[in-house]
Structure 1
Amino acid sequence: MDASRVNAVVDEITAAGGEAVAAVGDVSEMDVAEGLVRTALERWGKLDILCCAHGILRERMIFNMTEDEWDGSIKSHLKGCFAPTKFAAIHWRQERQGGRIIYFTSDAGIRGSSGQPNYSAAHAGKLGLMRSNARGLSRYGVTSNCIAPGASTRMTDRGLGRQGEGPPPSASAAGTAGDPKNVAPIAVWLASDAGAAANGQTFGARGHVITLYSEPERERLLRFDDPFIDIDELFDLWPATLGSEPLERTQAWT
């Protein structure tokens, strides 16, 4: 793996008066993830925040996707969150002094993306993992939240729709709605003491706008009095109950 980019970030942080240490490896590998947590504890004596903002793109329609493309995306995005979270949670459970978990998810995981079935599934999985963490780790003072960012980066430069040569979109993103700097403020807030007010929530950050997504709730209910649902009755009742008004659909679904 090429360590030059992460080393450059470490140099930038150090030059600004901060402290950082580089670690290169596959975060979805359990030994690497455990080593990351151990490195933080050995270097600073504590662990306050776990932020998972990594990922890859392997884009194809579902009928063209290979098993390797599916497995690679799930492993990178979803297992890449599980692995470090496991070892961070072990530490936080022992210390009981609180902590912050922040996952970067995607609109693809919230709404689905037709050309990204693997990416969509992995990021939807992050939302479920985040909510599980929020319920299970809150007793130890640990919060867990997601950010769905909208920004131009080296990863999105490789995305669907990129045509021609020339500079990639990320090269001219500074100062625009695609500037990744617009994502940082909500991450900082969630990582702070003030961020204790948020747990189990999903935020969007795009351009100069921060949004809070609603969580899944039952929208309608059809109850049957008999011990078993009668399928003919279901067909009869559907139009006036569960199907009384068209459910909201994205443009791609219509």
Structure 2
Amino acid sequence: MSLEGKVAIVTGSGRGLGLAYAQELARQGAAVVVNDVDAQAAADAVASIEAAGGRAAAVVAPVGPTETATQLVETAVATFGRLDILVTNAGVLRDTVLWKMSDDDFDTVINVHLRGTFTCVRAAATHMREAGEGGRIICIGSPTGQRGNFGQTNYAAAKAGIVGMVRTWAMELARANITANAVIPVAATAMTATVPYFAAAVEADAKGEPMPAFFRHDLGFGTADDVSGVIAFLASDAAAGVTGQAIGVGGDRVQLWSHPQPTVTAYHDGGWSASDVADAWDAQFAGHLETVGEKFPPLPAELQAPAPDA
């Protein structure tokens, strides 16, 4: 499991989940290129890694443009001599319902999440193939990309697209011994702090207290550090045979997400007219329809916020 001698890039690693990933990779022995648009956050992240005995450098630049991807790879090679691991974590949110979502809302999220993942992976994979020593690509997805979520057209599209790209890259990069996987984290972050359902868990985390077992076990919702172990595993030699997967992690839970598969198949000689489909729908298809969105169980009474005074 040691990452001694390895070099990693973690995008969007000035705070939150990305910072936890960078710190864990450094704890396992990797030198880390930290990336953020906030220069102070990036500097603080580097300082935290160095204070713990690790090695780190920072690239302050927005993810999305090819120039940033090139700079990240060049910094890793120039500073630490090689590149073995890429974690694409950078992201932004512009949440609103479909009919209120502007072009800029959509384009901003797609540019950072989807295009940023593509440009960074392309640059890293190109270098790794030329170096001939294999590598690890770890892309960060979301339950929203797997199931959908109200008000997140842009984010759902980006995160679903990332998992689709990972499956393709797993095939394209296999001969170069480069693995490509997606991690689907569920954790207390700035993005989940505003969701009332998670309030008790987020409050406990902010106080440095253990989260209630309902969140950690039943929902698989935990801290940023809870996700880092899977990241470090996928970055290691122990995961050399794991590629093309979407792996969910949070709290006390790890999951393998399935790839989309047909749930029912039917045939009609001569093809299907609209009336043929209508005639067969209830008997052959209706019972197999998929649900959308996350379905959370009711909060236990002791974790519910008290009702406001009348």
TM-score (norm 2): 0.74
Q: 1:197 aligns with which of 238, 241, 246?
A: 241
* Match runs of 1:158-169 below 5 Å: 159=194
1:11 is aligned with what amino acid? Answer: A
Q: 1:126 aligns with which of 162, 168, 180?
A: 162
What stretches of structure 2 of length at least 5 have no aligned partner?
A: 1-36, 217-221, 296-310
- 1:242 corresponds in structure 2 to 285
1:176-209 residue CA offsets vs partner (Å, 9 max, x unmatched): 3431110000000011001112111111111111
In structure 2, how many angstroms separate the alpha carbons of the residues matched to 1:64 and 1:90?
39
* Match runs of 1:148-159 below 5 Å: 148-157=184-193, 159=194
Q: Does 1:66 align with 2:110?
A: no
**Maintained 8 Å contact 1:6/1:22:** yes
In structure 2, how many angstroms separate the alpha carbons of the residues matched to 1:24 and 1:43?
15
SS of the counterpart of 2:62?
coil
2:182 is aligned with what amino acid? Answer: C
Tell me: CA distance 1:128–1:173, structure 2 relative to 1, closer, same or farther (3 Å): farther
SS of the counterpart of 1:240?
helix
- 2:153 corresponds in structure 1 to 117
2:237 is aligned with what amino acid? Answer: D
**Maintained 8 Å contact 2:96/2:151:** yes
Tell me: CA distance 1:55–1:103, structure 2 relative to 1, closer, same or farther (3 Å): same
- 2:143 corresponds in structure 1 to 107
What stretches of structure 1 of length at least 5 have no aligned partner?
A: none
Q: 2:263 aligns with which of 216, 219, 233?
A: 219
Q: Does 1:188 align with 2:232?
A: yes
Name the % identity.
36
TM-score (norm 1): 0.89
RMSD: 2.3
CA shift for structure 1 position 114: 0.9
1:119 is aligned with what amino acid? Answer: Y
In structure 2, how many angstroms separate the alpha carbons of the residues matched to 1:173 and 1:152?
12
1:37-78 residue CA offsets vs partner (Å, 9 max, x unmatched): 111111222211110111111111111111111111111111
**Maintained 8 Å contact 2:137/2:179:** yes
CA shift for structure 1 position 93: 2.1
CA shift for structure 1 position 155: 3.8
In structure 2, how many angstroms separate the alpha carbons of the residues matched to 1:180 and 1:145?
19
2:137 is aligned with what amino acid? Answer: I
